[in-house]
A = this chain, B = another copy of it.
Amino acid sequence: MQIARSMAEIRSATAQARQNATSSDAESLALVPTMGALHAGHLELVRAAKATGAKVVTSIFVNPLQFGANEDLSRYPRDEAGDLAKLQAAGCDVAWLPGVDVMYPPGDATLISVGGPSAGFEGAARPGHFTGVATVVAKLFGQTGAGAAFFGAKDWQQVQVIRRMVEDLCLPVAINVVPTMREASGLAMSSRNRFLSDEERVVAPALYATLNDAAIRLRAGDKAADVLAQAEAALRARGFVPDYVSLVEARSLQPIAVLGAENRLLAAARLGSVRLLDNIEV
C-alpha cells in the first residue's frame, strides 16, 4: 500500500494505481473518504470498492471545515498507525493522508454549498457542516481523480448531499452506497461509539430497535405522525434525548406523511454525551 501525504505523492500514487488497474475505464480507481478512527464499517467500504475490481484510495482527513464552532475537533479520535494497519490488511492500494495545509493551502477560497437535502436534520443541528463535507469531498474527487466513490448508508443525509452535488455539477464520479455495518446488538458502527459508557452500550441498540418497530408499523399503515411520536417517546423512556425521528423521501430528505416509492426513517438522539445517528429503509 502506498502512503501519500502531498499533492505530488497522491498524483504519483494514483497514476501508478491506474496503470496497475486491470480496466482502463474511469471507475478503475475508487475513493473511500474517511475521517480515520477506522472500524469495520469503513473497512466494508474498502472491501466493496475492491470487489468492483477497482484500485482503492482511502483518504483519512479530519476536516476542520465540517466541524462547528461549538464542536470539539480536538476530541475527534485519531489513530493513524492503527488505521494504516487496517487499510493494509483490507487490501487498500493507496492511503491518502493530506494535512490541513495540503487540503486548505494559503489562499484557498472556494466553498460548495448544497441546498435541498442538506436542509433540516444534521444540517439544522450542525450549521455549515454540509458545506464543509461537500467542499472537502469535491476536493478529494479532484485530488485523486477517482471515477467512483463509496460511502456508508449510516450517514444517509450526507450521501444525499453528495449525490445532489455530483448530479448538479455533473461530476464524473459514480456514487456507491454501502449498507450500514452493525454490531451484533444492532448498534450501527460509528467512531462515536467509543465514547459510550458500559451502561450506555447496553441501551444504545434500542435506537435501531425503535426504528425497526416504527418501520413495521408504518408498513402496516399506521399514521406516520403517531408512529414517529411514539418512537420518540420510546427512546425517551430508555434514557435517550431524541433530536428527531423522521420519515422522509429517501433522496430529497423532504418529510412525508405517507409512504412513497423510496422512504427512509432517520433518527438522531443523545445518549449521555454521545449523539447517535441511525437510519433505515421503510
Interface residues of A (CB under 8 A from B): 7, 107-118, 134, 138-139, 142-143, 145, 164-165, 168-172, 252
A64 CB, nearest partner CB in chain B, Å: 15
A235 CB, nearest partner CB in chain B, Å: 31
How many angstroms between the C-alpha atoms of A116 and B252 in the bound complex? 32
A97 CB, nearest partner CB in chain B, Å: 16
- Cβ of B165 and Cβ of A110 under 8 Å apart? yes
Which residue of chain B has the shortest Cβ distance to A145 in the bound complex?
B172
Which of these, B110, B115, B118, B143, contacts A114 with CB under 8 Å? B110
A211 CB, nearest partner CB in chain B, Å: 26
**New A-B pairs, 15, CB < 8 Å, besides A109-B115, A138-B169, A142-B170:** A7-B170, A107-B252, A108-B168, A109-B116, A109-B118, A109-B168, A110-B113, A110-B165, A110-B168, A111-B112, A111-B114, A113-B113, A139-B168, A142-B169, A145-B172
How many angstroms between the C-alpha atoms of A168 and B65 in the bound complex? 14
- Please name all residues of chain B whose beta carbon is closer than 8 Å to the beta carbon of A169 when the two chains form the complex: 110, 112, 138-139, 142
Which residue of chain B has the shortest Cβ distance to A142 in the bound complex?
B170
Which residue of chain B has the shortest Cβ distance to A168 in the bound complex?
B110
- Cβ of A142 and Cβ of B171 under 8 Å apart? yes
How many angstroms between the C-alpha atoms of A83 and B110 in the bound complex? 33
How many angstroms between the C-alpha atoms of A212 and B172 in the bound complex? 44
- Please name all residues of chain B whose beta carbon is closer than 8 Å to the beta carbon of A138 when the two chains form the complex: 169
- Please name all residues of chain B whose beta carbon is closer than 8 Å to the beta carbon of A139 when the two chains form the complex: 168-170
28 A-B pairs with CB atoms under 8 Å apart are A7-B170, A107-B116, A107-B164, A107-B252, A108-B168, A109-B114, A109-B115, A109-B116, A109-B117, A109-B118, A109-B164, A110-B112, A110-B113, A110-B114, A110-B115, A110-B164, A110-B165, A110-B168, A111-B112, A111-B113, A111-B114, A113-B113, A139-B169, A139-B170, A142-B170, A142-B171, A142-B172, A145-B172
